[in-house]
């Protein structure tokens, strides 16, 4: 079992959590420690970078979206094969419902606070003490980001008092590139490996304080709220189904847990690349078009005629199809990018999507299906104009306000909503159920 587990959190977004977690994961892996990394919250992009740093798939942990029992099972499985678990937080330590601090307390995770110290001196002590005491949480130490040098480091450490300055990262000329939805996807960054290495090289760990971090043991399961069904304990209702999943630079927003869920429900997986103009695999009797960045590849997708023809044929044949956000954009009539260029798409779903500079929606949402609530997230910069009437609306968490529209067009279910399959496997079986027959 893992000897240590740590939550890497911060007072706000933009403090350098991902850079520090990336550098720490690679540095620990270099020392021949078995490292597994998780990301808090409904995130697609950070896990792709963290997976490259650690060398293993990165699952997300969200107490509302996946449920505490599901998160517990993921941690337990990783703890069996790792020496140390790192869990990167989301936003600020106490931001959101639930927040990173809730996850840390639920599973007994000591917290390391990443604080951007570039324009800070003694105030770091007040900030660290506030982070520790507000919840409270078990604050094991601080990692100073953007430390100017030895003198600055001593000043910060003195201000922290009894809270250890566990590590420091100086300001670097290299950085993880960002885009409007967060980090750039890992496969798009040509020099990603050199950036990861630089972060690991420059992260200075105080070995004495590091060794003082106590051992961690995953708490035994207790009475959880909103238990998530475990499909491994049920029969396999998708046995005999082959689900084709689009995956490339345009369609990269795939939770590893969603693929795992489909497989545990009995489905076989067949990958294909619309950007490479690959057809839907002939063996497929169900299709999943996940989200991503189709707007960055409008011209290539508009010329992917084999893909377009094959996906139209799959729809005409009545294959169950799920299209989420970018996947829905690729199946609409056309896509208008930020430059106003119109790109013809597969034209299965009547409608036009248009990119905007600002967010159109972001946040956790749930779809209350006849089979239970399917939970997930929405975040997009585009809008859809379609004559198709909505089948349903998601519900925003925690406000309860109406969320994204769910559309049904023939065998296609489409929405801006990104589902987390483990939150309601029965709903996923219903969406793809006809594929098994």
By annotation, the residues acting in catalysis are: 325
Partners of residue 132 on adjacent β-strands: none
Q: What dihedral angle (degrees, nearest 10) is formed by the CA atoms of 94, 25, 376, 103?
A: -40
Partners of residue 289 on adjacent β-strands: 323
- The Cα 164–Cα 146 span in angstroms is 17
What kind and span of H or E run contains 86?
A: strand 84-88
How many helices (H) does the chain have, and how many strands (E)?
13, 24
Alpha carbon 65 to chain centroid distance?
Answer: 11
Q: First and final CA of the chain: distance in angstroms?
A: 41
Residues 57 and 26: beta-carbon distance below 8 Å: no
- Walk across the sheet containing 286-289 and list its strands: 268-272, 242-246, 286-289, 321-324, 412-415, 402-409, 390-396, 361-369, 372-380, 418-419
Residues 413 and 431: beta-carbon distance below 8 Å: yes
| CA distances from residue 431 to 65, 127, 322, 386, 427 in whole angstroms, order as listed | 19, 47, 7, 22, 6
3-state secondary structure of 43: coil
Residues 349 and 331: beta-carbon distance below 8 Å: yes
Partners of residue 205 on adjacent β-strands: 167
DSSP state letter for 47: H
Closest CA to 281 of 250, 330, 245, 252: 245
């Amino acid at each position: 079992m893992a000897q240590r587990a740590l939550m890497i959190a911060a007072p706000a977004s933009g403090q350098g959590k991902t850079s520090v977690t990336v550098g720490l994961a690679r540095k620990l892996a270099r020392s021949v420690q078995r490292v597994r990394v998780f990301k808090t919250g409904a995130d697609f992009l950070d896990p792709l970078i963290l997976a490259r740093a650690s060398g293993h798939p990165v699952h997300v942990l969200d107490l509302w979206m996946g449920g505490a029992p599901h998160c517990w099972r993921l941690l337990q499985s990783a703890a069996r094969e790792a020496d140390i678990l790192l869990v990167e937080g989301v936003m600020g330590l106490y931001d959101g419902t639930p927040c990173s601090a809730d996850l840390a307390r639920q599973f007994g995770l000591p917290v390391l606070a990443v604080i951007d110290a570039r324009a800070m001196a003694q105030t770091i002590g007040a900030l660290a003490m506030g982070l520790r005491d507000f919840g409270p949480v078990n604050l094991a130490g601080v990692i100073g980001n953007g430390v100017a040098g030895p003198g600055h480091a001593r000043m910060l450490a003195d201000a922290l008092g009894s809270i250890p300055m566990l590590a420091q990262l100086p300001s670097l000329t290299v950085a993880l590139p960002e885009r409007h939805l967060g980090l750039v996807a890992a496969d798009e960054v040509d020099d990603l490996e050199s950036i990861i290495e630089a972060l690991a090289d420059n992260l200075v760990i105080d070995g004495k304080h590091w060794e003082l971090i106590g051992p961690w043991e995953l708490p035994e399961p207790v009475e959880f709220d909103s238990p998530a069904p475990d499909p491994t304990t049920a029969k396999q209702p998708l046995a005999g189904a082959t689900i084709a999943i689009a995956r490339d630079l345009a369609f990269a927003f795939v939770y590893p847990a969603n693929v795992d869920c489909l497989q545990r429900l009995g489905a076989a997986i067949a990958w294909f690349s619309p950007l490479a103009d690959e057809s839907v695999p002939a063996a497929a009797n169900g299709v999943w078009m996940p989200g991503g960045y189709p707007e960055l590849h409008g011209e290539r997708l508009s010329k992917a005629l084999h893909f377009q023809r094959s996906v139209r044929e799959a729809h005409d044949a009545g294959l169950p199809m799920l299209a989420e956000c970018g996947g829905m954009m690729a199946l609409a009539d056309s896509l208008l990018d930020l430059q106003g260029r119109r790109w013809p798409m597969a034209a299965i779903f009547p409608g036009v999507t248009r990119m905007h500079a600002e967010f159109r929606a972001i946040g956790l949402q749930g779809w209350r299906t006849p089979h239970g609530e399917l939970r997930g997230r929405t975040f997009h910069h585009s809008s859809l104009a379609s004559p198709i009437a909505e089948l349903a609306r998601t519900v925003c968490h925690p406000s309860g306000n109406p969320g994204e529209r769910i559309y049904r067009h023939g065998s296609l279910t489409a929405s801006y909503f990104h589902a987390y399959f483990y939150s309601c496997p029965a709903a996923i079986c219903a969406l793809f159920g006809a594929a098994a027959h």
